[in-house]
Amino acid sequence: MNTVQIRTAQGILEGEQRENLMIFRGVPYAKPPVNELRWHAPQPAEAWDGVRSALSFGPAAPQPDMAANPFYGKEFYTDPRYPLPEQSEDCLYLNIWAPPVSEEKKYPVAVWIHGGAFDHGFGHEMEFDGEAYAREGVILVTINYRVGILGFLALPELAEQDEHHSTGNYGILDQIQALKWVQENIGAFGGDPDQVTVFGQSAGAISTQTLLSSPLCKGLFHRAIMQSGAGYHNNLTSARTMDHAGHVSLLAMNLLGAETLDDMYRMPAEKFVEILPELYSHIGGLAFRPTIDGYVLDEDLNEVIRHDRQMPVPVMIGTTADDITVDPKRDAQDGPLYLGCINFAFVHPSQTYVYYFTHRLPGDDAGAFHSSELWYTFGTLNRCWRPMTPHDSLLSRRIIGYWTSFMKTGIPDYYWPACNHEQKIPYIKTLE
């Protein structure tokens, strides 16, 4: 393996050098959130001496075994060529795919936030890869962040120990810390810190909308793409009130047999994963999601939009034809997720481009299911078990072209008009 070295603010990293591509895996963007740093805001990564290897991906946050899922296990988590990573609380790592550093230009940067219902997922799942982006002159960064109880526990005692009196948003604060790391370091990899796009799918899309809504994120990114999760009044993007977050947290403590915060600090992380099925049986819906804490979020995501307080950056937003919340007995375009995208486009203060992924994937009758577009978004069709066709490859190239054009210019395609805010006329780009 050929290697390449890059000096960051924390020290020298050694990554993989391929023809026209650099890959840096398992780069720490914060201190490990372990021991006394469990349920604290992430701290900046520490410096190191010498050369640090960035040839292997870092651990995933503690989470359920998705290989056991009857549908998504086969789709994304059981291919022996891409084994699941080890799990650890020491999980705050990112990965970078970049073209060779150029003295003549800086490359736009895209930061990917994985989905997973805020209780699972990691930045190097088999469907994620940055080679196609690097070929198009875009640096791709994927991140891990804390999920589940470790990422979203909300207790008054935790607010008291925090200098901003914040609790319940540790996973979101991880994402913000990763964006700060990018601002500080991506120039060393040839990236332009003034051209950063944040994009994500499902919980990653809700995360992206949260970042658009947070006063902590001004200047950290300049465009956003939100896939199957974001929107305005779509039944998914309501943030938790502190009361609700506290209720879920106390219920989790009861299931764990923990009476005090000290008990929770002493608890091994595996226990937090083991109780999730029982916790969900009591809660229903998403147990974990962003929380209105008065620091990361001042108000609900829908209220941020209603009061025109989200960051006025260009946005792409969309959904799939057989997405979650779709009633199979009704037209998907009557569903809250689809309509939420259009509602968002009508009120967002900057140009907004709406897509609708309708392509039915080959191999079964699952159709354009939730997450189905990810194979196409990242150009990883060759990793999928499905009998992909030349049409699938063409569609993937088109989508990557739209995404990377938006990351470079804020416009996915000159023949793809933004929604008309004043006349409330939506233009929906169908991807089929």
In sequence order, the β-bridge partners of residue 347 are none
Of the candidates 28, 85, 41, 89, which has an alpha carbon nearest to the alpha carbon of residue 61?
89
Rg (CA), the chain: 21
Q: What does the H/E/C string look like for 134-196?
A: HHCCCEEEEECCCCHHHHHCCCHHHHHHCCCCCCCCHHHHHHHHHHHHHHHHHHHHCEEEEEE
Element (H, E) at 343: helix 336-347
Six-digit token string for 167: 């609790």
| 175-205 residue pLDDT tens | 999 999 999 999 999 999 999 999 999 999 9
Of the candidates 93, 20, 91, which has an alpha carbon nearest to the alpha carbon of residue 52?
93
Q: What is the pLDDT of residue 326?
A: 82
- HSE of 215, CA atoms in CB hemisphere, 13 A: 9
Q: What is the pLDDT of residue 423?
A: 75
Domain containing 353 equals 3-431
CA atoms of 218 and 73, how far apart (whole Å):
37
Contacts of 343 (CB under 8 A, 6+ apart): 231, 232, 233, 234
What single-letter amino acid sits at 249? S
Percentage of the chain beyond pLDDT 90 is: 92
Model confidence band, residue 236 (pLDDT cutoffs 50, 70, 90): confident
Q: How many domains does the chain fold into?
A: 1
Six-digit token string for 408: 């470079």
- Residue 78 near residue 53, CB atoms below 8 Å: no
**pLDDT at residue 284 is higher than 90:** no
| 324-356 residue pLDDT tens | 988 777 776 878 999 999 999 999 999 999 999
CA atoms of 169 and 301, how far apart (whole Å):
14
| 62-89 residue pLDDT tens | 999 999 999 999 999 999 999 999 999 9
Element (H, E) at 357: strand 352-357
**pLDDT at residue 314 is higher than 90:** yes
- Residue 145 near residue 174, CB atoms below 8 Å: yes
Of the candidates 273, 432, 269, 257, which has an alpha carbon nearest to the alpha carbon of residue 359?
432
In sequence order, the β-bridge partners of residue 21 are 18
Over residues 303-313, the mean pLDDT reads 95
Model confidence band, residue 13 (pLDDT cutoffs 50, 70, 90): very high
CATH number of domain containing 202: 3.40.50.1820
User: What is the 3-state composition of the chain as percent helix, strand, coil, each rounded to the nearest 5?
Assistant: 35, 20, 45
